[in-house]
């Protein structure tokens, strides 16, 4: 110990050792200052982040899993025929009502001509049926006259029979006195028999005339049932023929395929000379003025989201300088995975929870869309303000 103390005293009094310890202390002091500054910086950043979160961050949710979509119109021919003219191509803008494709109208023109002939035939049959009713009515009147005539003949036959009966009785009463010969009695009996036969014939004639009139009346009623309460234009057969003509004309009009909405042509699949089938898609029209954004948010983010909340949307196409303003208009009926073609099914024993995403729809401002058009499928960034009413 006695030896160590002089050594320490010598080291302390050594100017070279003191010169070596001074820079070390300076470095330690500078390091403490930087650590203090770094701690203060971290504290300031934490305070700023906390203030941002309290004032802004907790009231906003965002996602970059969002894409432009639209209610696209599938153009499908309503009649099958050969394409004779195609007037549009992909990327071409069209207006509602513009002609897209013309189909061969030959078969439809023939169908229209046939339907017109059927309508004319139906009208002719109605007029013929109406005329037949008039003819049958005249026949019923004629059969009535036949009945009157037959009854008159019956009355005559009855009178002749009564006269013959009286003559026969008178002659038979005079036979015993010899005042009347046997030949006269025989002739009287023959006349009486003839009168009876004539009476039966007259009775049969009345029945025949009545039956004939009944048949004519039945034919008249049956014919009248075809035209009763109808005119030429309201006759069922004429109306059916009109419907077939309207259908044929409609098919003829459909040989000219027009744009159902305003938009841009995509996926054109028809060429001149190609026979298109009824109902098969030949092109798609995308309405660029009516696109919307489908944003896929995590399920936990949607806890406070309500329909009508405002949203700001940015597109990778234009960058952050262009901001679209929209609002939430609806939620999907299921998550993206559940609506996929083959929904995911986790195996038994898989304890890893997969966070699901639920699509919601953002409607954009039409004026902003017109100024900066979007295309279906573009990537978007969406931020929703939860604090807005």
User: In angstroms, what CA-CA distances link 380 with 281, 302, 319, 321, 376?
Assistant: 29, 18, 10, 13, 11
In a domain, 380, yes or no: yes
**Residues 122 and 151 placed together within one structural domain of the fold:** yes
Opening angle at CA 376, ends 370 and 377, nearest 5: 135
Q: How many angstroms separate the CA atoms of 178 and 167, rounded? A: 16
Given a cut of 50, whether residue 136 has pLDDT beyond it is yes
What pLDDT is recorded for position 16?
A: 56
Residue 14 lies in a domain: no
- For the segment 194-211, what is each residue's pLDDT rounded down to a tens digit? 878 877 887 887 788 778
Residues 112, 220, single domain; the answer is yes
Is the pLDDT at 140 greater than 80? The verdict is: no
Instruction: Quote the pLDDT of residue 4.
Output: 47
Q: Do residues 119 and 203 both lie within one domain?
A: yes
Confidence (pLDDT) at 94: 94
The pLDDT value recorded for residue 258 is: 95
Sheet arrangement for strand 263-266: 73-75, 283-286, 263-266, 93-94
- Judge whether residue 271 has pLDDT over 80: yes
State whether 202 and 236 are in the same domain.
yes
Tell whether 84 and 117 lie within a shared domain.
Answer: no
Whole-Å CA distances, 321 to 316, 318, 327, 359, 363: 10, 7, 20, 25, 20
Domain housing 273: 73-104+255-285
Same-domain pairing of 236 and 141: yes
Q: Does residue 4 lie in a domain region?
A: no
Q: Is residue 84 part of a domain?
A: yes
Reply yes or no on whether the pLDDT at 303 is more than 80: yes
Residue 197 has a CB neighbour count (10 Å cut-off) of 12
Res. 304 pLDDT band, cuts 50 70 90 = confident
- pLDDT at res. 11: 47
Q: What is the mean pLDDT of residues 274-281?
A: 92
pLDDT tens digit string along 320-355?
A: 889 999 999 998 888 766 666 556 555 555 556 778
| pLDDT higher than 90, residue 82 | yes
Task: Give yes or no: residues 237 and 126 share one domain.
Answer: yes
pLDDT recorded at residue 164: 77
Instruction: Give domain status of residue 24, yes or no.
Output: no
Residue 184 has pLDDT above 80, yes or no: no
> What mean pLDDT do residues 240-259 have?
94
Residue 50 lies in a domain: no
- Residues 79 and 150 reside in one and the same domain: no
Residue 9 has pLDDT above 50, yes or no: no
Q: What CATH number corresponds to the domain at position 274?
A: 2.40.50.100
Same domain, 124 and 242: yes
Residues 306 and 374 in one domain: yes
Give pLDDT tens digits for 13-66: 555 555 556 676 777 777 777 878 788 888 778 777 676 555 555 677 889 999
CATH of the domain at 190: 1.10.287.620
Q: Given this model, what pLDDT does residue 282 score?
A: 94
Mean predicted lDDT score pLDDT of the chain = 81
Q: Is the pLDDT of residue 178 over 80?
A: no
Query: What was the pLDDT predicted at 350?
Result: 55
Can you tell me the mean pLDDT for 177-194?
73
Bigger pLDDT: 136 or 267? Answer: 267
Considering the domain architecture, whether residues 365 and 328 belong to the same structural domain is answered as: yes
In a domain, 349, yes or no: yes
Does the pLDDT of residue 1 top 60, yes or no?
no
Beta strands 310-315; 379-385: pairing state: antiparallel
Task: Specify the number of domains making up the chain.
Answer: 3
| For residues 92-101, average pLDDT | 94
Indicate the range of 50-54, 116-120, 231-235 predicted with least confidence. 50-54
pLDDT value at residue 41: 82
């Amino acid at each position: 110990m006695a030896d160590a103390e002089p050594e320490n005293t010598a080291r302390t009094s050594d100017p070279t050792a003191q010169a070596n310890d001074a820079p070390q202390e300076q470095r330690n002091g500078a390091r403490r200052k930087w650590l203090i500054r770094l701690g203060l910086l971290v504290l300031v950043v934490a305070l700023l982040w906390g203030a941002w979160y309290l004032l802004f961050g907790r009231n906003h949710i965002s996602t970059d899993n969002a894409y432009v979509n639209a209610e696209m119109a599938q153009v499908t021919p309503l009649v099958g025929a050969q394409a004779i003219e195609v007037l549009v191509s992909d990327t071409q803008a069209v207006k509602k009502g513009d002609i897209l494709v013309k189909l061969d109208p030959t078969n439809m023109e023939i169908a229209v001509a046939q339907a017109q002939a059927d309508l004319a035939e139906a009208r002719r049959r109605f007029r013929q049926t109406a005329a037949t009713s008039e003819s049958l009515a005249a026949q019923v009147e004629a059969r009535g006259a036949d009945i009157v005539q037959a009854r008159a003949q019956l009355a005559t036959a009855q009178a002749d029979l009564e006269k013959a009966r009286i003559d026969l009785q008178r002659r038979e009463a005079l036979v015993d006195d010899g005042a009347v010969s046997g030949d006269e009695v025989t002739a009287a009996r023959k006349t009486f028999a003839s009168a009876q036969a004539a009476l039966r014939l007259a009775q049969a004639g009345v029945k025949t005339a009545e039956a004939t009139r009944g048949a004519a009346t039945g034919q008249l009623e049956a014919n009248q049932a075809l035209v009763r309460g109808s005119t030429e234009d309201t006759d069922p057969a004429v109306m059916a023929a009109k419907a077939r003509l309207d259908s044929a004309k409609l098919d003829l009009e459909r040989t000219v395929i027009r744009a159902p909405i305003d938009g841009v042509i995509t996926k054109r699949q028809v060429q001149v000379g190609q026979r298109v089938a009824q109902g098969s898609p030949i092109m798609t029209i995308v309405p660029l003025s009516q696109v919307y954004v489908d944003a896929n948010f995590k399920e936990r983010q949607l806890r406070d989201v309500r329909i009508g909340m405002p949203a700001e949307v940015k597109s990778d196409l234009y960058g952050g300088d262009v901001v679209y303003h929209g609002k939430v208009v609806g939620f999907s009926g299921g998550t993206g995975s559940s609506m996929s073609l083959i929904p995911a099914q986790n195996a038994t024993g898989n304890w890893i929870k997969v966070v699901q995403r639920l699509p919601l729809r953002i409607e954009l401002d039409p004026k902003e869309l017109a100024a900066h058009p979007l295309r279906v499928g573009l990537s978007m960034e969406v931020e929703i303000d939860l604090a807005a009413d």
